[in-house]
């Protein structure tokens, strides 16, 4: 890519991530002079990606520096989130604002590819059709609770929904019929990126995001980049074996995996509510524990114990700056912090943990959805004038 | 760094790693024309880092392309390896050839900083003084079996030798008195790099190196770069908790760590030889198992079981292209491959393991020493004409 295109990309990324910035601030961040910023901004204004405005109040003497603002209302992506207990679709504007959203509960069974795709496509088309005239869809991103093949969004393995080698990305793109591909990512990978860009992990490029749904997903950033591995199938934190002696059965076919010991089924069965499912059921157990219910408190503490072992192992391996607890682990971690902390102190190297902060998700239940939106914006952000938008305004 | 300096670095790195290469081959690898190669080579020849020679046999018609060869005999580093049962020092030439070497067994106890440093410095000075006239020491690298602070080579934690916050790098540099700093790295980190550059992991940038000594060290490359984490203290594979119920005591103070279950003490105690130590003792147990000794075979199989759990967890987390077994794990893995393989099949995701190869170290017991040499060469390779060599020829 030419230096000029790289600079356009950098500028657009700055206002997408940080919101409106003065030309002066951009010049400082990008270490270029103001005339360069002026030239770059003019091109992005012409493309309809940013606009320039006078600042709210002039700062000090001299001519105030114009503020560059992303065209949030005009340029959007469609973002989808396939979680275990719900399907979400949203229209998210450049800059990361959720402009419109649809949500539906997902049935516990009967969730094959066709059903999920047709549900999502209906929500997506509703959002797309409701978009005001003159707006433009710049990309589509989707979050899925399983292992995703980079490139085409094939679900290689999704034990929670029982999917193996299902062409989710291409099928959803076809069903939407918007003429854009769907960039699919694993929910926890996307959550990790979202927390790094806009959540609890800002400024921490060595970040571990743990996502509690039915299972436990992991997204691990190493130096700001998602740990991909040989083919994109790393970060499978949930299937780390933590209990080799008589551990609970896992959906993956093994026993004693971290997610078998800490996931939704472990918690709900421990309190005799194995017939329920979903994030609200988990949260009601956490609330019961806080209210003094002994069975609930014991279940939460036991899960904290296993979770702490998992986190200790991750600290030893990754020496993270931050570990972010998302999905239902957000509340579970808050309730079981003493157990988690004790296990970390016992099983991780002092030197590896001394700078690690443990934090709840900053984006809450929307971390994966926001991550999907970021995935949808990726092509535009890396090449803002790549022609993507020219013929797409409607 | 200027583009020119970067090109000098790239060229020198090619001949350092691959050995003699024709100008034509360099031009192709670096995607530049031959006159650029000529200019770069001339500068490196003038600096005494490479020389040009006629090829052994002319290849085809036309004038043969001159071969660029690293000045292996002239430019060397000192490399040190502090292992649990031995101290090694070597003079290693540009291109990676061990030119001269000294080795001494290390006593099991009484191994404080002063003793180790004075032993190593004596070996190093011997090597340095024995170097022929006209040769030049370009750097010093050292491998240590513990957690190393990047920058100054402080040993933050070395449970095998009982070291906490010992200024190993600066003390060794002072004791050597060569006027160069000592670049220190963790043994398994350095082994990982060495196996990637010159050993079993060539071409596999997503590599896990497991090093068996008294403990189990890990070096993990993600996209060709060592996993550093927030402060350089990741990759602590040996202290991954694998046996939470009544696991063996570990030197780190915890129980059930991977190295407690698979390290030297576990093996030797299982066969009633807890009073011995060192790599030869481990290897004699492996040989006894192969020869049909039932106690030895059971001990090896049990260790293979735990090792397999550890490797399965690493495969889930890192989706590696290759897992390399080094140090005493080289022989232990070879003897316990069925157990290791069974655990991997049981506890790792098929999608994560489908492209992972399990291989014995290609460099054997010298992996960590070669890694130390590479660490010693790093400054020269990244800036070949940085002035390092000018005043150092002796």
Which pLDDT band, with edges at 50, 70 and 90, does A391 fall under? very low
Write the ipTM: 0.94
Which pLDDT band, with edges at 50, 70 and 90, does A7 fall under? very high
The arithmetic mean of pLDDT across residues A5-10, rounded, is 97
CA–CA separation, A97 vs B316, rounded Å? 34
Q: What is the pLDDT of residue B1?
A: 62
pLDDT in tens, B223-238: 999 999 999 999 999 9
Burial group, residue A132, by CB count within 10 angstroms (0-12, 13-18, 19+): exposed
Q: What is the pLDDT of residue A389?
A: 54
Any chain B CB within 8 A of the CB of A284?
Answer: no
Q: What is the pLDDT of residue A388?
A: 56
> Which 8-state DSSP code applies to residue A1?
-
Q: What is the pLDDT of residue A190?
A: 98
* pLDDT, chain B, mean: 94
CATH 3.30.365.10 applies to domain A3-70: no
Residue contact B229–A347, C-beta within 8 A? no
Which pLDDT band, with edges at 50, 70 and 90, does A390 fall under? very low
Which pLDDT band, with edges at 50, 70 and 90, does B56 fall under? confident
Burial group, residue A290, by CB count within 10 angstroms (0-12, 13-18, 19+): middle
Q: What is the pLDDT of residue A225?
A: 97
The CATH number assigned to the domain with range B203-362 reads: 3.30.420.40
Q: CATH 3.30.420.40 in chain A: give the residue spans.
A: 75-189+368-382, 202-362
Q: What is the pLDDT of residue B106?
A: 72
Which pLDDT band, with edges at 50, 70 and 90, does B121 fall under? very high
The arithmetic mean of pLDDT across residues B328-353, rounded, is 97
pLDDT in tens, A209-218: 999 988 999 9
Residue contact B241–A347, C-beta within 8 A? yes
Residue contact A245–B245, C-beta within 8 A? yes
Residues 6+ apart with CB under 8 A from B337: B304, B358
Is residue B152's pLDDT more than 60? Answer: yes
pLDDT in tens, B155-187: 999 988 899 999 999 999 999 999 999 999 999
State the fold for domain B75-189+368-382. Answer: Nucleotidyltransferase; domain 5 (3.30.420)
Chain A environment of B237 (Cβ under 8 Å): 316-317
Which pLDDT band, with edges at 50, 70 and 90, does B386 fall under? confident
Is residue B275's pLDDT more than 50? Answer: yes
Closest by CA position to A326, among listed A96, A143, A94? A143
Q: What is the pLDDT of residue A227?
A: 97
CA B207, distance to chain mean position in Å, is 13
- Give the start-end residues of each E strand in chain B: 21-22, 50-53, 67-70, 75-82, 86-93, 97-105, 136-144, 147-148, 155-158, 163-166, 183-186, 207-212, 216-222, 225-226, 322-327, 357-360
CA–CA separation, B210 vs B262, rounded Å? 12
The arithmetic mean of pLDDT across residues B357-385, rounded, is 97
Contact between B254 and B239 under an 8 Å Cβ cutoff? The reply is yes
CA–CA separation, A274 vs A272, rounded Å? 6
Q: Where are the alpha helices (DSSP H) in chain A?
A: 3-18, 23-30, 34-46, 113-130, 168-176, 187-198, 258-262, 264-270, 279-290, 294-318, 329-347, 350-353, 367-382
Bigger pLDDT: A195 or B278? A195
CA–CA separation, A247 vs A321, rounded Å? 30
* pLDDT, chain A, mean: 94
Q: CATH 3.30.420.40 in chain B: give the residue spans.
A: 75-189+368-382, 203-362
Give the H/E segment covering residue B7: helix B3-18
B-contacting residues of A 312-341, CB under 8 Å?
312-313, 316-321
Which pLDDT band, with edges at 50, 70 and 90, does B214 fall under? confident
Helix, strand or coil, per DSSP, at residue B247: coil
Q: What is the pLDDT of residue B391?
A: 45
Q: What is the pLDDT of residue B387?
A: 61
Chain A environment of B204 (Cβ under 8 Å): 230
Bigger pLDDT: B42 or B56? B42
Token pair recorded at residue B147: 């957690």
CA–CA separation, A128 vs B260, rounded Å? 57
Q: CATH 1.10.10.10 in chain B: give the residue spans.
A: 3-70
pLDDT in tens, A257-315: 999 999 999 999 999 999 998 899 999 999 999 999 999 999 999 999 999 999 999 99
Q: Give me the phi and psi of A94, to 5 degrees please.
A: -55, 130
Q: What is the pLDDT of residue A174?
A: 97
Question: What distance separates the 2 farthest-apart alpha carbons in chain B?
Answer: 73
Residue in A156, A218, A317 nearest the CB of B236: A317
Q: Report the gap between the CA of A261 and the closest CA in chain B (Å).
A: 13
CA–CA separation, A377 vs A95, rounded Å? 10
Parallel, antiparallel, or unpaired: how do β-strands B86-93 and B50-53 relate?
unpaired
Q: What is the pLDDT of residue A393?
A: 44
Any chain A CB within 8 A of the CB of B57?
Answer: no
CA–CA separation, B269 vs B260, rounded Å? 11
Q: Which of A13-22, A55-64, B1-10, B304-313 has the lowest mean pLDDT?
A: A55-64
pLDDT in tens, A117-156: 999 999 999 999 999 999 999 999 999 999 999 999 999 9
State the fold for domain A202-362. Answer: Nucleotidyltransferase; domain 5 (3.30.420)
CA–CA separation, A142 vs A121, rounded Å? 12
Contact between B249 and B255 under an 8 Å Cβ cutoff? The reply is yes
Q: Give me the phi and psi of B99, to 5 degrees please.
A: -90, -30
Residue contact B320–A229, C-beta within 8 A? yes
CA–CA separation, A153 vs B36, rounded Å? 43
CA–CA separation, A192 vs A228, rounded Å? 13
């Amino acid at each position: 890519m030419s230096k000029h295109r790289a600079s356009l990309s950098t500028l657009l990324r700055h206002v997408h991530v940080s919101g409106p910035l003065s030309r002066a601030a951009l010049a400082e961040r990008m270490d270029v002079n103001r005339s360069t910023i002026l030239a770059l901004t003019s091109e992005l204004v012409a493309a309809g990606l940013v606009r320039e405005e006078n600042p709210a109040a002039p700062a000090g003497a001299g001519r105030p520096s114009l503020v560059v603002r992303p065209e949030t209302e005009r340029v959007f992506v469609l973002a989808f989130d396939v979680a275990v207990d719900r399907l979400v679709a949203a229209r998210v504007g450049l800059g990361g604002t959720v402009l419109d959203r649809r949500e539906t509960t997902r049935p516990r069974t009967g969730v094959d590819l066709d059903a999920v795709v047709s549900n999502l496509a209906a929500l997506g088309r509703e959002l797309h059709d409701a978009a005001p005239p003159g707006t433009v869809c710049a990309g589509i991103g989707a979050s899925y609770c399983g292992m995703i093949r980079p490139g085409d969004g094939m679900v290689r393995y999704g034990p929670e929904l029982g999917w193996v080698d299902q062409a989710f990305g291409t099928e959803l793109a076809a069903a939407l019929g918007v003429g854009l591909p769907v960039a699919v990512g694993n929910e926890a990978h996307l959550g990790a990126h979202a927390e790094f860009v806009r959540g609890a992990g800002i400024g921490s490029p060595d970040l571990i995001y743990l996502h509690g749904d039915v299972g436990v997903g992991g997204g691990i950033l190493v130096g700001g980049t998602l740990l991909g591995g040989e083919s994109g199938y790393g970060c499978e934190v949930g299937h780390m074996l933590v209990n080799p002696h008589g551990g609970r059965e896992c959906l993956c076919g093994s026993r004693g995996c971290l997610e078998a010991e800490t996931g939704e089924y472990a918690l709900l069965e421990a309190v005799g509510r194995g017939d329920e499912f979903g994030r609200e059921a988990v949260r009601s157990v956490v609330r019961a524990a806080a209210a003094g219910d002994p069975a609930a408190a014991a279940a939460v503490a036991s899960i904290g114990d296993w979770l702490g072992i998992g986190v200790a192992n991750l600290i030893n391996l990754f020496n993270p700056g931050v570990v972010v607890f998302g999905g239902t682990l957000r509340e579970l971690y808050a309730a079981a912090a003493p157990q988690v902390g004790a296990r970390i102190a016992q099983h991780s190297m002092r030197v590896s943990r001394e700078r690690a902060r443990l934090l709840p998700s900053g984006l809450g239940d929307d971390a994966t959805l926001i991550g999907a939106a970021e995935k949808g914006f990726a092509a535009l952000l890396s090449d803002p004038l790549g022609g993507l938008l020219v013929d797409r305004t409607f």
